[in-house]
Chains A and B, each alone.
Chain A
Amino acid sequence: MHGFGPSLAFWVLAILTLVSAGGVMMVRNLLHAVLFLIVTFLGVAGFFVLLSAEFLAMAQIVIYVGAIAVLVLFAVLLTPRAGRDNGETRWAGPAVLLSVALLAVMLFVIKDTHWSTVVESPELTVADLGRALLNRWVLPFEIASVLLTAALIGAIMLVRSPEEEAEDALA
């Protein structure tokens, strides 16, 4: 990673991602928090490009920005009387304290470790990723499809209305 371009991209993305993640924490309106969350997802996708994982950057945009963010928005809109308040519980203080403590430990570990790194970026293509998924990691790949099917069926079962359940019981 040399040159001015990647450095500039890194700092812009870091500020964008972390500021919008802080926005998710700070803003009072839940819908605004979801919009900040979408910006964070886009920044993370930019990081994926910077780390030469183009396929994952595309998957991040399609799955997180395209699917999960819309799902969260729908969940906010489907719970209208619960309010749009993005407030904290009374455990907010200890929670922030715990996060800061964990951050301190992680920063210390990152600074204190001597990382042995490669100079040149490894040549990783989408073809390599596909080969790894379908050779070495084919069993987890298949289990992931079972998990997605189970989640699909589970989500549909959970949000069925009581009337539909009564109709199914009669049939």
Chain B
Amino acid sequence: MTPGIEHFLIVGALLFCIGLAVALSKRNAIGVLMGVELMLNAVNITLLTFSRFSVSERPITGQTFAVFVITVAAAEAAVALALAVSVYRNRETVDVDQMDLLKS
């Protein structure tokens, strides 16, 4: 069966939902971050699918957007992991259930 636009979109949707489940359910802050990265990758697949398949005057725009998504993902990963290391240094844990300092 030749893969068409729907097949790529379904793969993107599946990957996004796995990433969402990981990001929402993991106890370790680094695990949550891995879920976010999976979701960003799924979005990139979807963007490139539309860039490749849809009728458009400027199909390159999808790839351009994907470049920016990768850039922002790199910045986000660096800051989020620095935050996780910083929290670990102060509280000896990266468990998101125990990061409740702002809770009254």
Q: Which A residues have a C-beta under 8 Å from some C-beta of B?
A: 1-2, 6-7, 10-11, 14, 17-18, 21-22, 24-25, 30, 33-34, 37, 40-41, 44, 47-48, 51-53, 55-56, 59-60, 63-64, 67-68, 71-72, 74-76, 78-79, 81-83, 85-89, 91-92, 94-96, 98-100, 102-103, 106-107, 110-111, 115-118, 121-122, 124, 128-129, 132-133, 136-137, 140, 144, 147-148, 150-152, 154-156, 158-159, 161
Contacts and interface: CB of A to CB of B under 8 A. Distances in A.
Contacts of A47: 8, 11, 45, 48
From A2, A103, A111, residue with most partner B Cβ within 10 Å? A103
Interface residues of B, number: 76
Given A51-B49, A91-B25, A158 B13 contact: no
Q: Give the 9 A-B residue pairs with the shortest CB-CB distance, closest first.
A: A95-B24, A151-B75, A158-B82, A92-B25, A95-B25, A99-B21, A155-B82, A103-B17, A10-B3
A121 B54 CA distance: 10
B44 to A, nearest CB: 7
